[in-house]
Structure 1
Amino acid sequence: MSGGEGGEEESLEFTPTWVVAAVCFFIIAISFAVERCIHYGGKLLKKKHQRPLFEALQKVKEELMLLGFISLMLTVLQGTLSKMCISEKFVTNMLPCSISDKHKEESAGNNTATMEHLGGLRRLLSESALSQTAYCASKNKVPFLSIEALHHLHVFIFVLAVVHVSFSVLTVLFGGARIRQWKKWEDAIVQQINDTDPSLGHAVTPIHDHAFIKDHFGGIGVHSSILALMHSFCKQFYGAVTKADYLALRLGFIMTHCKSNPKFNFHKYMMRALEDDFKRVVGISWYLWVFVIVFLLVNVNGWHIYFYMAFIPFILLLAIGTKLEHIISELAHEVVEKHVAIEGDLVVKPSDQHFWFSRPQFALILIHFILFQNAFEIGFFFWIWVQYGFHSCILGKVKYILPRLIIGVFVQVLCSYSTLPLYAIVTQMGTNFKKSIFDEHVQAGILGWRAKVKKKHTLKGSLTKPGSSSTDGSTVRIQLGGITQKDAGEIQPVHD
């Protein structure tokens, strides 16, 4: 066995068994505790019939499994990568820091304080790096990727996934809390319906006297599209959804999809729909990993890509908020164009045509990207700060660091308290309603019935002669993201 004076690190063959057992116990205990927490959390959600949140938790488990596999791959390939050597001319371009910064760090970063801070892990990595460098130097080449850089990359991927999941959960929790404040409006509407005498007639009211119209056209004019856009842009900051907005959108949804049920619990349906969408937001899709790779590729010294990319989620979030607010204004504008006065309540007409590409769900894709990109920015900053220090050349000067942090916090707060609640209610103004309109057991029954009908039609098709056709007037076509009726009358949503 070598002594403690710079000899080689010992393998497991000459490591005390109590050390090996202690480390394994510590790692296994933490892993088992996390797994049990997720397991019992899932059981609790199922017990409370929170299926969408349960599925979101399953997404988190999938991310953890993916991280485990990535970790395993990096560990297994470490030996192979350590023996990969390339010509030195290939490692002098596209560096995150300049060569001069490297020399400065080598002269100032090898002091005693730095070594004490990094501890035994840095010494182990340094010795492995020396061995790797010597191996490649014997071939007049340099390492393709150092052991220390591989370790740092390993940590970065873990930090990125944890920060993204954490930020997504916080966004939905705060956004959900904001939406729950609207429940008092829902209860007040139902109470008003109960107190109203149906035998009484409805008063005729000039269109401009309605609060919903005043909120969107008061003082700016109906035909001023530029002012309307400016109003929509500003409204997302101070009053994303007013009581008048909620009343109008709720009534428009009910009159379109469940006219015979004015007491339909629109608020509860909206919360279920948001939970369904949340399970898509919490995961890291393949195109988001592609974004990470592209960022790592273009993070070149002097380009300040990390600074300019911080504005991407900021600009997208403002665009989405403006668009969602403008959709509400467009719904109001349609009513103004068609009516001078209205008998009873004001009713808007939902339509997919108001949304980008006629797809209400497209906004969710952008929100997903915004949350990930913002988490990436914040996670990348803290990873560099902890790993290399606040004055690392990768972070750059303070004038580039502070705006990134301010933008990151602003995006997180605005998305939680304004954009997400806006999305939750405005996307219900599409042509089709979502399957969340049904309770979970009803959804299962409809999907089972659909499977039986499909099987029946397949069997009929196999028995039908070529060229003939067979139709069934009871067919109900259920589409992804919405349900449409065909020759079956109106499906009545389940309500509480």
Structure 2
Amino acid sequence: MAAGSGSSDRSLEDTATWAVAIVCAIFVVISVVIEHGIQSLGKWFQKREKKAMFEALEKIKAELMLLGFISLLLTVGTKYVAQICVPEKLGNKWLPCEKDLKMLDDDKGKGGHRKLFTYAAQEMVWRRSLAAGTDNYTYCTDQGKVPLISYSGIHQLHIFIFVLAVMHVFYSAILVALGHAKMKKWKAWELETSSLEYQFTNDPARFRFAHQTSFVRRHAGIYSTPALKWIVAFFRQFFGSISKVDYITIRNGFINAHFAPNTKFDFHKYIKRSMQDDYKSVLGISIPLWFFAIIFLFFNIYRWHTLAWISLIPLIIILLVGTKLELVIIEMAQQIQDRATVVRGAPLVEPTNNFFWFNRPQWILFLIHFTLFQNAYQMAYFLWKWYEFGITTCFHEKLYAVMIRVFLGVGLQILCSYITFPLYTLVTQVSFELFNAHSMHE
């Protein structure tokens, strides 16, 4: 028994050099491949003159570097943090899992799930390895206190940071991929603007009643009632968000406001560049988002159900943002109808910031950024808890509630990436402020 224990926690002095070299080589090769892949992607963006996408990639690299520094500091400071001792009474306050319930979970030991006592026993070997034969891991216990964070706790925090980084990069990739998929659908509409049928339908010499135009018929009329407008806008983000007539009308209004009439302008290409500029704002983890992550960890207390109610935040935000953006389109149609009874040629919308909350369309982008991080954070937290403690522990008291939150988070990510974010990019083209911002990057 002792021999087995000694062989499992031996140091590098007692480890074969070929084993050390192989493990080191594997990690080096994986790191080099990832770095080379990122550099190749950056060179491809530069070659294709995708400046905004290259800057977005740089933000992701900066995020990974920051998380790497955090991990490095945790590694270097493990010994010193674990030797910060606090009274046991204070250390047992505000626990994420009730101690009695934790003991019960250990006793159950359901098949297929790691028991916490077994996990603790395995981690003790890791602690002793870190201690390098010393008794540092009992430093606080010998004083009748408990460590601020134990060796194994810091190790688990390491894993959480890694999972968070992977999930945020993965969710960012989903946002980019689905956003570009939506753009391909709009490209077909842009090509139609060069057809003879389109030019005949939007002949500048043609007069029509405003309420007879396709755009006004789709969004005005009975929808002029405030309460009904919000209801219609809420459901339209799921069914029929951004039709061809919406795209064409916003396109015509944009060209008429910023260029000479009948100018041949590739609006789809401009929208694509605008979306790439927006990627720089929604990718990466900003200081306010780090603050939120810390607040969540602070208030993740047993029976407070923090994870349950905080999962409602991205749901409320993304539905509210999607509804507001659809409502902006309805207000555009109402503006056309109120401005003139008869329109000449294509119906035009006038760029203004008044459609948006506090006349600040960029605030919507921050809410989308927050939702992206929130979804990635919740998924990372779920996967980390599952990996470290199993799926049926006191951290996940009701499995069905956990699975609902997981599927809800995935659904919200798809909704945000494929509908809400592209919708924001298109609708905000009626904003003078964002037009000037995007023009500086041309």
TM superposition score normalised by structure 1: 0.82
Amino acid at match of 2:91: V
Partner of 1:317: 318
Distance 2:266 2:337 in 1: 27
Partner of 2:389: 388
Question: Where do 1:347-386 residues align within 5 Å?
Answer: 347-386=348-387
Amino acid at match of 2:409: G
Per the TM alignment, residue 174 of structure 1 is displaced from its structure 2 partner at its CA by 0.8
More displaced stretch, 264-273 vs 393-402: 393-402
Per the TM alignment, residue 390 of structure 1 is displaced from its structure 2 partner at its CA by 0.7
Q: Which of the numbers 117, 134, 137 marks the counterpart of 2:138? A: 134
Task: Please tell me whether residue 151 in structure 1 is matched to residue 155 in structure 2.
Answer: yes
Question: Where do 1:399-418 residues align within 5 Å?
Answer: 399-418=400-419
CA contact (8 A) 1:381 1:395 kept: no
Task: Please tell me whether residue 343 in structure 1 is matched to residue 369 in structure 2.
Answer: no
For the residue of structure 2 that corresponds to 1:342, the secondary structure is: strand
Q: Deviations over 1:128-181 (max 9, x none)?
A: 699455322221111211111111111111111210111121122112211220
Distance 1:197 1:390 in 2: 60
Partner of 2:97: 97
| Greater relative contact order (Cα < 8 A, sep 6+) | 2
Distance 1:278 1:384 in 2: 30
Amino acid at match of 2:277: D
Question: Where do 1:137-216 residues align within 5 Å?
Answer: 137-192=141-196, 202-216=205-219
5+ long unaligned stretches in structure 1? 444-496
For the residue of structure 1 that corresponds to 2:354, the secondary structure is: helix
Amino acid at match of 1:210: T
Distance 2:16 2:118 in 1: 25
Amino acid at match of 2:38: I
Q: Deviations over 1:89-147 (max 9, x none)?
A: 11221111001122224444599984899699635235469945532222111121111
Per the TM alignment, residue 12 of structure 1 is displaced from its structure 2 partner at its CA by 2.5
Indicate how the Cα distance of structure 1 residues 114 and 422 shifts in structure 2: closer, same or farther if over 3 A, else same: closer
For the residue of structure 1 that corresponds to 2:343, the secondary structure is: strand
Amino acid at match of 1:392: T
CA contact (8 A) 1:129 1:148 kept: no
CA contact (8 A) 2:10 2:129 kept: no
Distance 1:327 1:286 in 2: 30
Q: Deviations over 1:245-267 (max 9, x none)?
A: 11111111111111345211111
In the alignment of these two chains, the number of paired residues is: 436
CA contact (8 A) 1:384 1:390 kept: yes
For the residue of structure 1 that corresponds to 2:208, the secondary structure is: strand
Task: Please tell me whether residue 43 in structure 1 is matched to residue 37 in structure 2.
Answer: no
Per the TM alignment, residue 416 of structure 1 is displaced from its structure 2 partner at its CA by 2.0
Q: Deviations over 1:40-65 (max 9, x none)?
A: 11111111111111111111211121
Indicate how the Cα distance of structure 1 residues 226 and 69 shifts in structure 2: closer, same or farther if over 3 A, else same: same
CA contact (8 A) 1:384 1:392 kept: no
Amino acid at match of 1:306: L
5+ long unaligned stretches in structure 2? none
Task: Please tell me whether residue 64 in structure 1 is matched to residue 59 in structure 2.
Answer: no
Distance 1:71 1:249 in 2: 47
For the residue of structure 2 that corresponds to 1:352, the secondary structure is: coil
Distance 2:167 2:248 in 1: 37
Partner of 2:236: 235
CA contact (8 A) 1:55 1:279 kept: yes
TM superposition score normalised by structure 2: 0.91
Distance 1:406 1:57 in 2: 28
Higher helix share: 2
More displaced stretch, 255-264 vs 120-129: 120-129
Distance 2:208 2:44 in 1: 50
Q: Percent of pairs identical after alignment?
A: 39
